[in-house]
Structure 1
Amino acid sequence: MIELRNLSVHYGRAIAVNDVSLSFPSGTVNCIIGSNGAGKSTILRTISGLVRPSSGQIVFEGEPIQNLTPKQIVERGIAHVPEGRHVFPELTVEENLKIGAYLRADAAAVKRDFDAICGAFPRLAERRKQFANTLSGGEQQMLAIGRAIMAAPRLVLMDEPSMGLSPVMVATMGDIIRSINAEGRSVLLVEQNANVALSLSEDAAVLEQGRISLAGKAALMKDDEHVRVAYIGV
């Protein structure tokens, strides 16, 4: 389980996240939706240790992690797929994937996971010797996800995984997220594409101006009038 307890984050005097309390169960796909600038990415960056909270706690599987370094958080089993992919452009696909396993010492398990990722992402297998900057946007997103999986996480944080992708690739990305979850990994999405995120998720929360305005079952939230008008557009 990942739990936020009265979490606040400031950038200077600006409040990015304001007293947020949320919990999501293990073994499921869950999401935080909201408009651009609502604070969604800040929450993920704070969970992964890239940003320090001003106050509050982050608890993962019963252990407070808000004071750990990013390296320690990865070691605890959390991997982050950032917004904009951020692959290493002048390294090959294979090199990018292997960087994801840099904290792992179990060579046999690393090879097994590498082979499994190549099987799950045939395009990456075909392009394993190509430089990452030669891949399409969708392929780079696959690579970023594959690199995160190479860390053998129990929780995968995904920041706007559908951003900039074609409708066909968005559907493919949904299938990939479901397959990650089917392997026993939890997934926490933040998305502007509320329809996609809610369709994939068990539980959901709406973040507006740094605060949670609504939380509950994703299937029910799709029928909420405010969510439909503000985020789904119907």
Structure 2
Amino acid sequence: MIELKNLVVHYGRVAAVHDVSLAFDTGINCIIGSNGAGKTTIMRSISGLIRPSSGDILFEGEKIDGLSPKAIVERGIAHVPEGRHVFPELSVDENLKIGAYLRNDRAAIKRDYDNICSVFPRLAERRKQFANTLSGGEQQMLVIGRAIMAAPKLILMDEPSMGLSPVMVAKMADVIRAVNQEGKSVLLVEQNANVALGLSVDAAVLEQGRISLRGKAADMKDDEHVRVAYIGV
């Protein structure tokens, strides 16, 4: 579904991603790694926020690197960025509706909106509140809901568990599964390897901008290096 071929990304003269080649099929998949490994750079490259220095990004077989972020959303990719970037002085309701700004199918938009309110009843209760009055967990629900409103085929989720309590992390995992059960694929990048690998079918480990390991997520949980370096066992 999403494929990276020999991807190289620089910030100025510094290479953040070095010759990364990866392919993930539909479903839930993940890239794990420590802070600064290049995970967010890969996500921002896929969504068009950063232009790669070289290499190719293909979505459903079509080359998308070089397209604008708007064009990439139109092709079916939504991005849930690291850090819960809500529109703070807009209401929950307005934040959700902004997610559908490229759509014209009013009946389907209402159906998706109602579904989000069902999956996230806390958002339904707070739909008239300003987004900056929500808790961290509620804001994370809001940015995921906003991404769903774009009607994507693939949702990129950058560190969705960051800063959340253990209870909210478990809730977020349930939400990611529910999103996938609705027919949407998810690509996670996470420092919380235990959560990411528990959710995913396939996984890759990114270290210092390079892929050091890839394979089935279930097998990776038993890899000694992954267990010591990322799971803490």
Q: TM-score, normalised to structure 1's length?
A: 0.99
CA–CA distance in structure 2, aligned partners of residues 130 and 87 of structure 1: 13
Deviations 1:188-215 (A, max 9, x none): 0000000000000000000000000000
CA–CA distance in structure 2, aligned partners of residues 32 and 190 of structure 1: 5
Q: Does 2:161 match 1:162?
A: yes
Secondary structure of the structure 2 residue equivalent to 1:87: coil
Q: Does 2:196 match 1:197?
A: yes
Q: 1:107 offset after TM fit, Å? A: 1.1
CA–CA distance in structure 2, aligned partners of residues 31 and 62 of structure 1: 20
Write out aligned runs for 1:94-133 (5 A). 94-133=93-132
Instruction: Report what 1:81 is aligned to.
Output: 80
CA–CA distance in structure 2, aligned partners of residues 117 and 160 of structure 1: 20
Instruction: Report what 1:225 is aligned to.
Output: 224
CA–CA distance in structure 2, aligned partners of residues 184 and 62 of structure 1: 19
Structure 2 residue ranges without an equivalent (≥5): none
Write out aligned runs for 1:1-234 (5 A). 1-26=1-26, 28-234=27-233
Q: TM-score, normalised to structure 2's length?
A: 1.00
CA–CA distance in structure 2, aligned partners of residues 89 and 156 of structure 1: 22
Secondary structure of the structure 1 residue equivalent to 2:127: coil
Q: 1:108 offset after TM fit, Å? A: 1.2
CA–CA distance in structure 1, aligned partners of residues 232 and 110 of structure 2: 44
- Runs (4+) of structure 1 exceeding 2 A deviation are none
Secondary structure of the structure 2 residue equivalent to 1:146: helix
Structure 1 residue ranges without an equivalent (≥5): none
**Percent of residue pairs identical:** 81
CA RMSD, Structure 1 to Structure 2 (Å): 0.4
